[in-house]
A and B are shown apart, each in its own frame.
Chain A
């Protein structure tokens, strides 16, 4: 049996293949799936920035309340601004990446290269999560603790008041920093478990097509 026999069998099969009827129902269902895909991306991004907005809102309320009472509130305002900076960075990166890495209908090698770039970018983002997420959020919580220690009004005697304020500050900072540590760990795990294998797979596809070792 030669390759022409195989070609003939394949093409005959393709010709006789039962294809879905191209009608409105098919178009609507594909359209619905496409919208579902877009929605899932939107909600995923929203979920990821919602936490930053929530923290900024809570810290902003604390700053507002302190200011209303005539207490200096600059540490709380800084604490509220930092998570907003994180959200802005995240949304900008998503927007730029979506434009840069979206499939363009280019040839297969170009699209594989684009997919490889997208995964590499994602890996670099997670590898550097300390700088753009953990540090600003950690500092934000640190500034909130500073607001408590420096400016929280209390009627306790000064030496007891200081101990109580430091204790409260630690109560805010320690769980938040433990949470940051957990965030760092799961991001590094995501690189190992999901992204690194995905990158290896894409590079293998490229090598298979080009024959490059």
Chain B
């Protein structure tokens, strides 16, 4: 049971409502699958540390995106990570055929998801952030709030990033 401490309450509420954001971003930003848990831990630690600085003018999801994206963009793998891996990582669902595929519904979707995740990881980290937000269904305005770019700039940069994604996806499809 979570205590009544407002810090803990807010953190828990964020994870309840938006736990998928750090999870998907750690998958997209980890250099290899083996690093996902470390990066996910790092994102959670940074989110925890950010709770006192949370300003109500930003939506929690925008805030969480910012914190997690900043962590993903600047994260560097080091030997013997400083964060202990004490958070139990969720077991993959039985429907997932591979770790890369994740919990998609059908085999076709799993295959598509595996290719998509690999293609996303092939993108430069900056483009990756835009593509991940677009895949999550965020509009130009929301992406602009998270990144600090103008909406026009988001449009231009996203078009460029999507082109790179389709090239990467073709390459990945040929490889798989």
Q: Which residues of A contact B50 (CB under 8 A)?
A: 103, 105
Q: With A36-B83, A103-B46, A109-B149 given, is the CB distance from A16 to B74 under 8 Å?
A: no
- Chain A contacts with B in 127-168, Cβ cutoff 8 A: none
Stretch of A19-27, A66-74, A81-89 with 4 or more beta carbons under 8 angstroms from chain B: A19-27
Docked pose: A59 CA to B129 CA in angstroms: 54
Q: Which residues of B contact A109 (CB under 8 A)?
A: 147-149
- Is A180 an interface position by the 8 A CB rule? no
Binary contact readout B143-157 vs A (1 if CB under 8 angstroms, 0 otherwise): 001111100010011
The 3 closest A-B pairs by CB, nearest first: A208-B126, A107-B148, A18-B90
**With A9-B109, A17-B24, A105-B66 given, can you name 20 additional A-B contacts, CB distance below 8 Å?**
A5-B112, A9-B113, A9-B116, A10-B113, A11-B136, A12-B109, A13-B103, A16-B93, A18-B103, A20-B15, A30-B47, A33-B86, A105-B50, A108-B69, A108-B147, A111-B70, A112-B70, A202-B74, A210-B153, A211-B156
Interface set of B (CB-CB < 8 Å, partner A):
1-3, 8, 11-12, 15-16, 19-20, 23-24, 41, 44-50, 53-55, 58, 63, 66-67, 69-70, 73-74, 76, 82-84, 86-93, 102-105, 109, 112-113, 116, 124-127, 129-130, 134-137, 145-149, 153, 156-157, 160, 162, 165
